[in-house]
Structure 1
Amino acid sequence: MNNSKETKEKTCCGPECCSDDNTDTAVLENDLTKEKSEEELKQIVKDQYSQIALQSKEQNESSCCGSTSACCGDVNTFSIMADEYKSLKGYNPDADLGLGCGLPTQFAKIKKGDTVVDLGSGAGNDCFVARAETGETGRVIGIDMTPAMVEKAKANAAKLGFSNVEFHLAEIENMPLNDNTADVVVSNCVLNLVPNKVNAFREVYRILKPGGHFSISDIVLTGELPVQMKAAATMYAGCVSGAVQKDDYLNIVKNAGFRNITVQKEKLITIPDQILLDYMTADEAKQFIRSGSGIYSITVYAEK
């Protein structure tokens, strides 16, 4: 495993509210104070991202439910580090909801004619970038567990007239794909939301062809998050409290059978003080900052 090749600092911010009624906000904020099953955690994510799917990126930016919500300033946890897609070939603004934490296709080594699978494909952002690289002779498959996202992605693909881009409603731990299907797997800030990451990476290994590879951008930790942040469902759906330790993450990848594991890019995420104060006292926030614990976005490459 190599050391990261690039380190930058970014900022994130936590959502305060994201509900069409008065019942969901309190539940969403405190739902993890008691241990939840995998299915309950998945439902929290589905509920949050279903609401995001119903809005454009611009609408999300001006609401309390979006990827760059004004509820807490410039950005929130859903745009922890939305790297700029606009310069990439294949970029489609209708598919960009600002939900990523990296640019996994940058390191994906996609070739013409490749079959590419995108895990947690959302509205199709990375799928359409991948399609520009694999071309008309390739195939791009998006997997997402949120019906509203799959519907939005299919509509975007239809507008673009792509016959070789498809989207499936499924969970990453149980994909409706044959063994050895993909040349390349990509994913952007999604696997941290999967409760059983061991099974998820086993599935990635299963669907990759021998010699295939993945490029995945995700959130990891060094050190421990404060208990209050771990307990907040908004922090889970916002890709923070569901993250695991960086070393543990890379070991999961290794134990799934992958080789040539490389952290291609790494970015430190700085949580603004005003967001920390939503979850802890000022003294606790100072203690967390001094602890040296960190939240990072990493883009990992590995081969089967």
Structure 2
Amino acid sequence: MKNDHEMKELVREKYTAIALQSQTQNATSCCGATSSCCGDEVYNIMADDYTKLEGYNPDADLGLGCGLPTEFAKIKEGDTVIDLGSGAGNDAFIARRFTGKTGKVIGIDFTEPMIKKARTNADKLELNNVEFRQGDIDDMPVTSNYANVIVSNCVLNLVPNKHKVISEIYRVLKPGGHFSISDIVLEGELPAKWREIAELYAGCVSGAIQKQLYLEIIEQAGFKNINLQKDKVIIIPDTILSNYLTADEILEYKNGKAKITSITVYAEKPVKDERNCCEPGSGCC
């Protein structure tokens, strides 16, 4: 089993390859420029259609999401919004539609080629209140109590330490702020071998955790009014399953209770923190 650092480097390598490909290659190639498997289909079957949304920019849509969090995020004009794992800027540009000229949108991504691609797209759109910062979303380059809203689209499942990234979201949100996050979670146990397959990890599946645990981590971090805004089962075709499982294993998976699910979850940071925490960084909360 890979450690957290190795998992992060795996994800960085994968998404760097995607960022450096053309739009056509991203739509048709198998697993990026350096791989021969066909796991990119995993992304496509999870993605929702952005094309009819105001603010949509095709150059920024790499088809890597699993929901439409900005549509559920209750963003108001003038809000400061942070998009975690912003990629080429797709959700950030749609969030800008809601914030207007008086708000601000910050995208955070730890892959340098993605940041460059997003900044190029922002320059083309001449948006002076959308910026992109390189950094880890479990250690955000943002001051505390800064954002009104945080969104993210199919990214937190790729972070090994879920507790840390949820705690960072709590830190960065203003009191009374909220998030809307689309992500991949599990119900029941996936075949054990999937957790050893690097490609599926980078494709959002093996890095996912149980839905109930995911929601518990959010609650433990101090968030309130937690609710699922969307809950959709992901059906993976046999053509993809056969890359990782034998025919008998595919049959066993289909007949079992394990499910891969795309959720969009909403939660609010209380106006007053009543957790009796120690000083920031002490690890008490």
2:36 is the counterpart of 1:62: no
Task: Map residues 111-190 of structure 1 onto 2, 5 A cutoff.
Answer: 111-190=76-155
How far off is 1:285 after superposition?
1.5
Q: Which residue of 2 aligns with 1:39?
A: 5
Provide the C-alpha distance between the structure 2 equivalents of 1:62 and 1:221, rounded to a whole number of angstroms.
27
**AA matched with 1:59:** Q
Provide the C-alpha distance between the structure 2 equivalents of 1:287 and 1:93, rounded to a whole number of angstroms.
39
What CA deviation, in whole Å up to 9, does each residue of 1:239-282 have, x standing for no partner?
00000000000001100110000101011111112322222221
How far off is 1:72 after superposition?
4.7
Task: Map residues 188-227 of structure 1 onto 2, 5 A cutoff.
Answer: 188-227=153-192
What CA deviation, in whole Å up to 9, does each residue of 1:186-218 have, x standing for no partner?
000000000001000000000000110000000
Provide the C-alpha distance between the structure 2 equivalents of 1:236 and 1:72, rounded to a whole number of angstroms.
14
Counterpart among 292, 296, 299 of residue 257 in structure 2? 292
What CA deviation, in whole Å up to 9, does each residue of 1:213-239 have, x standing for no partner?
000000000011112211111100000
Provide the C-alpha distance between the structure 2 equivalents of 1:48 and 1:72, rounded to a whole number of angstroms.
13
Provide the C-alpha distance between the structure 2 equivalents of 1:275 and 1:98, rounded to a whole number of angstroms.
17
Provide the C-alpha distance between the structure 1 equivalents of 2:28 and 2:239, rounded to a whole number of angstroms.
19
Contact persistence 2:87–2:114 (CA under 8 A)? yes
**AA matched with 1:43:** E
Percent identity between matched residues is 62
Counterpart among 219, 224, 228 of residue 259 in structure 1? 224
Name structure 1 gaps, 5 residues minimum.
Answer: 1-34
User: Closer, same or farther in 2 for the Cα pair 1:258/1:234, shift >3 Å?
Assistant: same
Provide the C-alpha distance between the structure 2 equivalents of 1:83 and 1:209, rounded to a whole number of angstroms.
29
How far off is 1:70 after superposition?
11
Contact persistence 2:16–2:111 (CA under 8 A)? yes
Counterpart among 35, 46, 49 of residue 15 in structure 2? 49
Provide the C-alpha distance between the structure 2 equivalents of 1:64 and 1:281, rounded to a whole number of angstroms.
20
Provide the C-alpha distance between the structure 2 equivalents of 1:70 and 1:260, rounded to a whole number of angstroms.
44
Provide the C-alpha distance between the structure 2 equivalents of 1:37 and 1:231, rounded to a whole number of angstroms.
12
Secondary structure class of the residue paired with 1:106: helix
Q: Which residue of 1 aligns with 2:45?
A: 80
Task: Map residues 86-97 of structure 1 onto 2, 5 A cutoff.
Answer: 86-97=51-62
Contact persistence 2:42–2:240 (CA under 8 A)? no
Secondary structure class of the residue paired with 2:164: helix
Name structure 2 gaps, 5 residues minimum.
Answer: 270-285
Contact persistence 1:179–1:208 (CA under 8 A)? yes
Q: Which residue of 2 aligns with 1:273?
A: 238
Provide the C-alpha distance between the structure 1 equivalents of 2:201 and 2:134, rounded to a whole number of angstroms.
21
Secondary structure class of the residue paired with 1:80: helix
Provide the C-alpha distance between the structure 1 equivalents of 2:22 and 2:96, rounded to a whole number of angstroms.
22
Runs (4 or more) in structure 1 with deviation over 3 Å come to: 69-73
Secondary structure class of the residue paired with 2:15: helix
Provide the C-alpha distance between the structure 2 equivalents of 1:180 and 1:194, rounded to a whole number of angstroms.
22
**AA matched with 2:5:** E
If asked which structure has higher relative contact order (CA below 8 Å, sep 6+), I would say 1
Secondary structure class of the residue paired with 1:39: helix
2:73 is the counterpart of 1:108: yes
Contact persistence 1:57–1:98 (CA under 8 A)? no
Alignment length (residue pairs): 268
Contact persistence 2:152–2:182 (CA under 8 A)? yes
Counterpart among 265, 268, 272 of residue 303 in structure 1? 268
Contact persistence 1:56–1:97 (CA under 8 A)? no
Secondary structure class of the residue paired with 1:300: strand
Q: Which residue of 1 aligns with 2:273?
A: none
Contact persistence 1:186–1:215 (CA under 8 A)? yes
User: Closer, same or farther in 2 for the Cα pair 1:70/1:41, shift >3 Å?
Assistant: closer
